[in-house]
Amino acid sequence: MVYLNFTNFDSETQEHLLSVSKEDVESRSGTELRKFAETHDKDYNALLEEEAMRNLYHYDFVFNM
């Protein structure tokens, strides 16, 4: 069995997966994240990026060979 994580992919694939993850995070908790950023005077995009990175490690990657 082969175990891969996000860093095993090329940079183009990493960027694509990160953008998909950002959309996922924003659709699920964008409103709460924006309120948190405003309340605590944080950068929304930086918070979104951090949450998207965390979210990536909850994905199951499937490969067809």
9-62: per-residue pLDDT in tens? 788 888 888 899 999 999 999 999 999 999 999 999 999 999 999 888 877 666
Residue 42: inside a domain: yes
Asked whether residue 4 is assigned to any structural domain, the reply reads: no
Domains in the chain: how many in total?
A: 1
Q: How far apart are CA 52 and CA 26, in angstroms?
A: 9
CA distances from 20 to 2, 48, 61, 65 (A): 23, 12, 13, 23
> Per the domain annotation, does 5 fall within a domain?
no
Does the model's pTM come out above 0.85?
Answer: no
CA 6/CA 17 separation, integer angstroms: 9
37 lies in a domain? yes
Which range marks the domain in which residue 44 is found? Answer: 10-56
